[in-house]
Amino acid sequence: MKVLVSDKLSEKGVEILRNGGLDVDVKTGLKPEELVKIVGEYDGLVVRSATKATQEIISAGKRLKVIGRAGAGVDNIDIPAASKQGIVVMNTPGGNTVTTGEHTIAMMMALTRNIPQANMLMKQSKWEKKALEGREVFTKTIGIIGLGRVGSVVASRALGLKMNVLVYDPFITQELAEQQGYELVSLDDLYARSDYITVHTPKSKETIGLVNKDAFAKMKDGVMIINCARGGIIDEKDLLDALDSGKVAGAAVDVYEKEPPENWSLALHPKVVSTPHLGASTHEAQENVALAIAEQMVDYLKTGLIRNAVNAPSVAPEMLPKVKPYIELSEKMGTFFGQIIGQVISDRLKKVSFVYTGEAANVDIRPVTIAGLKGLLSIMSDEVNYVNAPVLLKERGIDLVETQTSKEAVYTNTIKIVLEFDSGTRTLEGSVFNPGDLRIVSIDSYSIEVIPEGYMLVIYNKDLPGTVGRIASIIGESNVNIARLFLGRDRQQGTAILIINLDTEAPRDVIEKITQIPNALSVQEVAV
């Protein structure tokens, strides 16, 4: 497989890619039109912030399976376009966490003590001591918007400086904040009480322009603003107005709406300490993200292991042994079920539900659900994968429901897939007996323990004497070996289900002969 590295990457990272058995080309500084011409040759693309993986470039990447971002931010990648094309987008969120958090603290201190201005004047042989009087951060209040990886680093360092730490983050609990020594507050409360405000949220349609003129109006007079997250989260024009009016005493800015800035007014403002997106620019961070993205690319392209994907569920390496059997079972169940229900899925399916019980409810169910969807929808398209399966489901207006319960029934753990059609529902239930023993344990109303593996015949028949024997004889006469045979029935002399594992694919005439048995109701061959 071939990988293109289109931005500068540590040599150690490139070495990991090559040692992983990948054919690597390093071509940096390509213009968009140049990248469009060659990207179709590659299975993987590694970028940093310089390359813009636009819809046009992604569409041209006919072989692309993965785009790896050596860094945390992925706003230079068209994720919806990648997802629709089935391309995994990975980043390295932990690789530059510490260095970006440290840069935020450094920017706060530089702003507070007028260090850049003092340095510049000293270089001009000017001793302006009185004009450069600063502040202490001791006992001051810092408001942190977003307590993710970087926000957590900033918060812990601020506590070390004996600052009061306020946090706004709708995805953490009061208990967690209190355990870590922070005060969880509303956004308006954070604005009103903070002497310093720093943002550490992702850039999204919800956060663009989050800190704007309305927000500044709610802040203390003389507040100081720091942005080492993403340009555009703080409205640059509104920040300039707040600086000019004196509402904001100073700002430290590392990121901009356009990089490099098209309008340099903010960076040139005398009350602004500005740096050219240096948050992740340390030797350690660049090495960390290069090594991490290289290892992730090799893992995915060689083994299919997804880590740190932004458009597909990832599994932490330490959790993989526990989650992997459920992922495998779910995909096998989906593949089995998709073939059983046939083409009806394309126009009559309304809702897909995944119900997890017992031990199965205690793992990260997101990758498990998506594996099941991939198997289920594979009947619809040869191009369905872990990334685009949810997209395909949504495009068809099919609802997805996930339910978890610790309550156990017959088995200690089960995954149940429920398909709701206009005419009724179908169910399939499976269980992990142990990591190497995966079973389907019920199909609709039939209890049956089936090993979902290889070629399988699924036969519904009348529960009458001699039926199973006749079916087995037909298979044996055709020189096809039966590996395993499983039986289930709804009631005595009612309808039975017979599932047979075969060593090889059944010839067409075998299926036709079984269909002609008087007691046979239906015969399907399934490959899992």
Residues annotated catalytic, as ranges: 230, 259, 277
Q: Which residues, listed in sequence order, are joined to residue 3 by a DSSP beta bridge?
A: 24, 44
Residues in contact with 478: Cβ distance below 8 Å, sequence separation at least 6, in sequence order:
506, 507, 509, 510
As a dihedral over the C-alpha atoms of residue 183, residue 189, residue 190, residue 191, rounded to 10 degrees, the angle is -170
List, in order, residues 6 or more apart from 314 with CB less than 8 Å away: 306, 307, 308, 367
Take residue 507 and report the two structure tokens written for it: 């010839």
Whether cis (ω within 30° of 0) applies to the bond prior to 260 is yes
Q: Which stretches does DSSP call E strand in 32-156?
A: 44-47, 66-69, 88-90, 141-145
Compute the distance between CA of residue 407 and CA of residue 473 in angstroms, rounded to an integer. 43
Q: How many residues comprise the chain?
A: 528
Whole-angstrom distance, CA of residue 206 vs CA of residue 204 = 5
Burial (CB count within 10 angstroms: exposed 0-12, middle 13-18, buried 19+), residue 379: buried
Could you tell me which residues come within 8 angstroms of residue 138 by beta carbon, excluding any fewer than 6 positions away?
161, 162, 163
Q: Strand 66-69 relative to strand 44-47: parallel, antiparallel, unpaired?
A: parallel
Pairwise CA distance, residues 443 & 452, whole Å: 12
Helices (H) and strands (E) in the chain, counts: 18, 22
Which residues make Cβ contacts (< 8 Å) with residue 523, sequence separation at least 6?
Answer: 457, 458, 459, 511, 514, 515
**Gap between the Cα atoms of 18 and 111, Å rounded:** 44
Q: Which of 225, 198, 197 lies closest to 100 in space, CA to CA?
A: 198
Alpha-carbon distances of 394 from 77, 174, 349, rounded to whole Å: 22, 34, 12
DSSP bridge partners of 224: 196, 250
